[in-house]
A and B are shown apart, each in its own frame.
Chain A
Amino acid sequence: MRRHFGGVHAVDGVTLEVEKGSIQGLIGPNGAGKTTLVNVITGYVPFQSGHAWLESDELTGLPAHRIAGLGISRTFQNIRLFKDLTALENVLIGMHTRRRDDTLAQIATLPMFRRDQRSRLDDARGLMETVGLAASDIAGRAAGTLPYGDQRRLEIARALALRPRLLILDEPAAGMNPSEKQGIRELIERLNEDGLTILLIDHDMRLVMGVCKRVAVLDFGRKIAEGTPAEVSIDAGVIKAYLGSGSERVVTSAPGASAAGDTELAGEGSAARPAVEPQKAILEIEDLTVSYGPVNAVRGASLRVATGEVVALIGANGAGKSTILNTLSGLIRPDSGTAVFDRLDLTRAKPSTIVRHGLIQVPEGREILARQTVLENLELATWGRRDGSAKRTQIEAVMKRFPILGERRALRAGTLSGGEQQMLAIARGLLARPRLLLLDEPSLGLAPQMVDEVFKAIQEIHDEGTTILLVEQNALRALEIADRAYVLETGQIRLSGTGEDLLHNPAVRRAYLGG
């Protein structure tokens, strides 16, 4: 099966079989194409080539509602409940395909309709109980007002209302704390015992490894491994996909990659000495806690960055890395804790003030203006500055620094390759004359060669004297160029040390793969 997105092969020749009655896991790093695969199977995104079957029914080319009618039910990565409707109504809508058209009976208010409606209500309440929701308490509440964990469960109840032959769960445990995750795990196991076939996609390796009998791993749209959880977790290719590839020198000594089958790892933090925290920090974060509604994304994180340093903040997806950066930029307000950038209180200052103070973020996903030219993108970055001629020379200087941008100055930014777009985003950040540059996932979705280019550029910018806080999923790469690094896991700082120390620390691998 293949699926491209405008030149990006989001899913490229993947073959996947889910055995009836089993729980199949599907994992892979950010941007590996997992959700795209699900969207293709469920008819949201058309096939470009390849086929899919559900038992003997061909799914290829059918619209989403027909595929749902055939018995594939799904939940969404970002919960998509009908928020303004009650919990009960949400489940009732899920029964659409197995409810006969009763419009006339409905209008006439026939007793038949009332009887059916009563049985539907009982059924819906039963489903809510099945997924562990107290129907009597929450049935009448608007779905959007339920606690986060209950919303996840309600979405599963709605999916079950379809009486699916295959249930696809897209990150059902995202954003949950460990005990909630345990509850979801038990639910998945219970549903499977009742005979339901489940395709489980999640970033949380402990969940997937614990509950699945077979796991497939995607990376760059290709299936790179498949097998039992134990086999997959020691597969060298999988480790590389998750931790990223360092340069040749490092790969050989990368944690866990040296010896396939070596599951016995050294004790926690054996190699990591607590790094010397700088005395004079330009950025100082103390005990920062941030949440999105009921979800705690960051729980009491503290870190420091001194002038001239490159500090890496690494951790698996959903660990809270981007949340910390967005908090520093003033886009999110923390619940508690302090964040001070050169005497400026970042928890209170307006985003525009923070930018003027010299704290510049290069956002994840680059967020360039795709329909503007490269030059226009750069000019907009200096918007609001009144030093006309200095602006010009600086733009010229930046284009000299990234020659590719100079060559493509008249092209629309959207036509650049991913790596070039990342260069443009960094260049734009530099034009704001940062005293601290925040880089959020600069290597995201880039081919390995482009990753080399981007990291080379980061290194050079640093050598020219820019202080950098770097957030990366590609841990090995980030550790190579970082002076110091912090490892974030479920919103907390688990480890810190010099880049060199952490590079050889097996605990880093565990933070990613949950070994």
Chain B
Amino acid sequence: MDFLIQLFTDPVAFWNSHTLLISQIGINSILASSMFVVLYSGQLSLAAPGFMAIGAYTAVLMDLYWHTPLALNIATGTAFAGVVGVAVGLPVLRLRGVFLAIATIGFIEALSLGVILNLPITGEGLGLKNPNADPLGGINIVLVSLAVVVFLLWRLTKGRLGYAWTAIRQDELAAQSQGIDVARYKLIAFVVSALLAGFAGGAESHLNFFVDPNEYGVPRTVQVLTFAVLGGSGNVLGPVVGALFLTTLPYVFQQAGDYIGVVSGAILIAVIIFRPQGIVGRGGFAFVRPRWWPRAQVRAPSTR
């Protein structure tokens, strides 16, 4: 509670003492936005940490070996993640639903076990030292880019591209009948998502003096998915709110001490039961009938 009290009584001190936390919220929000793009187009892709790793390692390695400027490092990392996104997306996007999810988990496992842990240049799993990191100064980059990302995505969802994504998410077959090239728009979403994750990875690496390969595994992907689903994936702001909510939760309930995991988990369960559409989703609280509560069974009349 001290955390919240300070936020309202002394915002300046709060900002100064929680800079790292706020940066982390920003990074998590960008990651959640990356997840938002794929979910918005109806794809359950869990590849985000893989693209993050690509962005992070590219940016840090460029800095270590070539001493290039930060902006160029992050931009290159982002672009590289996008290129890998095309290469991975082309074969993988034939899959749907849970099969796509498993294939993308395969991608992150192959990347971390097969590449990062084996290459001498990435430290063979021991991680990389990043002496030029700037944990406190990085906050400006993060917050400005978050604002830009949210604005861009908001505009995208309102245009032809956004309509195509929505149509695909709602009903692929019907989308095709409206002349929408489903494969193409799915790939666009997948690559945009890869770019955002790559950017988030590059930016995050600038906040830490150490690049830890264990950061980019399945637990991270579950966390990012939770941000997006909890916040609501039908609205650009949803994932950002989800990231904000879940990242600050442990701080708000500091008093819980060792039981913080239990408290956070219980709150998470409660939110998802009563707001299955997400915190920012359309519609009110589902107090009357949660979605998992079975309806009366109705079978549509068969016509064939």
Contacts and interface: CB of A to CB of B under 8 A. Distances in A.
B16 interface: no
Contacts of A69: 179
B94 interface: no
B260 to A, nearest CB: 36
B181 interface: yes
Contact of B163 (A65, A68, A78, A96): A96
B286 to A, nearest CB: 15
A73 B175 CA distance: 11
Contacts of B173: 44, 64, 76, 80
Interface in B149-196: 152, 155-156, 158-161, 163-164, 166-167, 170-171, 173-182
A77 to B, nearest CB: 6
Contact of B180 (A31, A43, A65, A109): A65
- Of residues A63, A68, A93, A292, which shows the largest number of chain B Cβ atoms within 10 Å of its Cβ? A93
Q: What band does the interface of chain A fall in when counting residues whose beta carbon is under 8 Å from B? A: 35 or more
Q: Is the interface of A mostly helix, strand, loop or mixed?
A: loop
Contact of B174 (A82, A97, A99, A203): A82
Interface stretch (B32-40, B132-140, B215-223, B294-302): B294-302
Contact of A158 (B178, B296, B299): B178
B170 A78 contact: no
Contacts of A35: 304
Q: What band does the interface of chain B fall in when counting residues whose beta carbon is under 8 Å from A? A: 20 to 34
A326 interface: yes
A120 to B, nearest CB: 10
B303 interface: yes
Contact of B176 (A68, A94, A331): A68
Contact of A103 (B159, B174, B177, B304): B159
Interface stretch (A317-325, A379-387, A389-397): A317-325
A107 B155 contact: yes
A333 interface: yes
Interface in A64-110: 64-66, 68-69, 73-74, 76-78, 80-85, 89, 92-94, 96-97, 99, 101-103, 106-107, 109
Nearest to B154: A107
B171 A82 contact: yes
Given A107-B152, A107-B156, A93 B301 contact: no
A106 B179 contact: no
A99 B297 contact: no
A364 B302 contact: yes
A81 to B, nearest CB: 7
B173 to A, nearest CB: 6
Interface in A363-418: 364-365
A175 interface: yes
Interface of B: 152, 155-156, 158-161, 163-164, 166-167, 170-171, 173-182, 296-304
Given A44-B173, A81-B174, A96-B160, 14 more contacts: A31-B304, A65-B176, A68-B176, A77-B303, A80-B173, A93-B166, A93-B167, A97-B178, A97-B179, A102-B160, A106-B161, A109-B155, A322-B301, A332-B299
Interface of A: 30-31, 35, 42-44, 63-66, 68-69, 73-74, 76-78, 80-85, 89, 92-94, 96-97, 99, 101-103, 106-107, 109, 113, 158-159, 161-162, 171, 174-175, 203, 292, 295, 297, 317-318, 320, 322-323, 326, 331-333, 364-365
